[in-house]
């Protein structure tokens, strides 16, 4: 139900936008979370977005570092960096909220691996 874009290899300073496409449900009506997992580390909640009206809530650590957006016309959420750093190298997951909830995530994308290296 959530299909993410493919592996990315970028250089420091480059921009990047990854995507998460929903299918089989009313995309606009459920929150989408973005979660970072650095190599060998735990899960970090970056923020959530409601595609219906693009209401967005960033976790403080990620505010100003990334931009979340959504286009409900194509049932796709996006995560964008304007200038990547090596420390952005990680697996990024999107996840969909459960029916009737804002912040319980019961469907997850397969993940997008981002590698930033000179």
Partner 1 sequence: AIQMTQSPSSLSASVGDRLTITCRASQGISDDLGWYQQKPGKPPKLLVSDTSRLETGVPSRFSGSRSGTGFTLTISSLQPEDFATYYCLQDSNYPLSFGGGTRVDIK
Q: Counting runs of H as helices and runs of E as strands, what totals does the chain give?
A: 0, 11
Q: Supply the minimum distance, in Å, between the C-beta of residue 31 and partner 1.
A: 10
Per rule CB under 8 A, is residue 1 in the interface with partner 1? no
- By C-alpha distance, which of 9, 4, 12 is closest to 95? 4
Q: Supply the minimum distance, in Å, between the C-beta of residue 93 and partner 1.
A: 5
- Residues in 50-89 at the binding interface with partner 1, rule: CB under 8 A: 57-60
Per rule CB under 8 A, is residue 95 in the interface with partner 1? yes
Mapped onto helix, strand or coil, the DSSP state of residue 5 is coil
Per rule CB under 8 A, is residue 106 in the interface with partner 1? yes
- Residues in 37-56 at the binding interface with partner 1, rule: CB under 8 A: 42-45, 47-48
Per rule CB under 8 A, is residue 117 in the interface with partner 1? no
**And the tokens for 63?**
């505010």
Question: Exposed/middle/buried for 52, CB within 10 Å: 0-12, 13-18, 19+?
Answer: middle
Q: Residue 111 region, left (φ>0) first, then alpha (ψ -120 to 50), else beta?
A: left
- The binding site for partner 1 (CB under 8 A) comprises 33, 35, 42-45, 47-48, 57-60, 93, 95, 98, 101-106, 108-111
């Amino acid at each position: 139900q959530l299909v993410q874009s493919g592996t990315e290899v970028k250089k420091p300073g480059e921009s990047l936008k990854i995507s998460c496409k929903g299918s089989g449900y009313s995309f606009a009506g459920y929150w989408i979370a973005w979660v970072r997992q650095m190599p060998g580390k735990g899960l970090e909640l970056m923020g959530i977005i409601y595609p219906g009206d693009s209401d967005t809530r960033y976790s403080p650590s990620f505010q100003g570092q990334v931009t979340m957006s959504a286009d409900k016309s194509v049932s796709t959420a996006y995560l964008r960096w304007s200038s990547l750093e090596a420390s952005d190298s990680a697996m990024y997951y999107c996840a969909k909220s459960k029916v009737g909830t804002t912040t319980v995530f019961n469907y997850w994308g397969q993940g997008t691996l981002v590698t930033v290296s000179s």
